[in-house]
Amino acid sequence: MMTQIIPVNESRICNFTKITENCQLFRYINGYDNKAITKLEEDFPLAFGIRLYNSPEQVEQILRIIYRPHNFYCIHVDTGSDIHIFNSLKAVARCFENVVVLSKIRTLYSSIRLVEADLLCMKEALKSTIQWKYFLNMAGEEVPLKTNLKMVQICRLLQGRNEIESEPAPPFAIRRMKWVYNLTEFEMIKTKVLKMPFTLNVRLRKGCAYGTFARKFVHFVFKNDIANDLFEFLKDTYAPEEVFFNTLNSVDGAPGGYNVTITNANRDFLSRSIKWQWDRHFKCPGKFRRNICVFNNKALPWLVKQPEMIVNKMDGDYDQVVIDCMEEYLHNKTLQAGVNGFNKTRYLQYPHIKDLHKKNKKNLWDKI
């Protein structure tokens, strides 16, 4: 599918270069330094990688929602984006020692370049002196549903396991890998060339491109030969971002991995709240884009009750109110950290957490 570069009206882009000249004032006005932070959070730093093509204002808003001085943040701006978007976010990053902004890849929907952009941010995270425990990849049109503290509490329940949607690749996903696709700057072109058979002794799995990855698993992605071979096999296929991490998670010896089926449809995938157009049990309070619900403010009463960590998707150009309300809601929740406890019961019923609890019930509860 052809990806069109949309000219950016510079007047619509917030002049971050100007307003970040005084970093102390910028941080104060935008509330970066007024977060209530617990020792639990300080002892359990997280890393975030955010991919975006446009909407630098929305990404800055996401950053200020999830920002904590002890975490690590990497933002990858598509090289096909307007240069003012990169410069704007680069100006923001200048005010923080733990925020990195890159622009190295022209990402393309359903191509290996999405994986490459995530890997770039993972590399930056590993180079950081911050000893983060989990890496969460995000898109520019996603918004957290949980405070940083709640995310930490959920990640601690994982006990070093990944949180990746994964199921055996269905026939339609296997068919996508039957033919070679050529990548140009703007599109993927299906050829009539059959791919060589997948020869690794690994069963391909499919799932969401976004997840929560344990630090040891991120190391594994870069150092394991199977990971490299799988990447090479997938790089000229359609939608490899829905196969790469999902398959590696099931490889024998993969840190934090498992073969349990975890799916959004079964409501046991914690990293994302995402609603597809073919979900018969859900009516989208918004509109669909690429078969995914773009939520508006009518969804707020439903969203705040969901157990997942992040919602996909929200678009400020469509409805800024829903994002602003989520920001205020999460800010208030942060202030109430000592008032409202963490209800573990629901999370301990998820299959990839439940078996950990069964194996060593006392030890698990002692560590929470």
What is the spatial distance between Cα 271 and Cα 274, in angstroms, rounded to a whole number?
A: 10
pTM: 0.93
Q: Rounded to the nearest 5°, which phi and psi values hold at 191?
A: -100, 180
Residues facing 186 on adjacent strands: none
Show the DSSP H helices in the chain as ranges: 16-19, 23-29, 39-42, 56-66, 83-93, 112-127, 148-158, 171-176, 215-223, 225-234, 244-248, 300-303, 320-335, 351-359, 361-367
Residue 280: its pLDDT value, please?
83
Q: How many residues does the chain have?
A: 368
Percent of the chain with pLDDT over 70: 92
What is the spatial distance between Cα 130 and Cα 128, in angstroms, rounded to a whole number?
A: 5
Return the CATH fold of 23-166+257-265: Spore Coat Polysaccharide Biosynthesis Protein SpsA; Chain A (3.90.550)
What is the spatial distance between Cα 313 and Cα 209, in angstroms, rounded to a whole number?
A: 14
Number of C-beta neighbours around residue 346 at 10 A: 8
Q: Which tens digit of pLDDT belongs to each residue from 122-165?
A: 999 999 999 999 999 999 999 999 999 999 999 999 999 999 99
Helix-helix angle 83-93:56-66, to 10 degrees: 20
Residue 339: its pLDDT value, please?
56
From first to last of its 368 residues, the chain has per-residue pLDDT tens of: 333 333 444 444 568 889 999 999 999 999 999 999 999 999 999 999 999 999 999 999 999 999 999 999 999 999 999 999 999 999 999 999 999 999 999 999 999 999 999 999 999 999 999 999 999 999 999 999 999 999 999 999 999 999 999 999 999 999 999 999 999 988 999 999 999 988 888 999 999 999 999 999 999 999 999 999 999 999 999 999 999 999 999 999 999 999 999 999 999 999 999 999 998 888 999 999 999 999 999 999 999 999 999 999 999 999 999 999 999 999 999 988 765 678 899 999 999 999 887 655 544 434 44
Kindly state the tokens that stand for 20.
């970040």
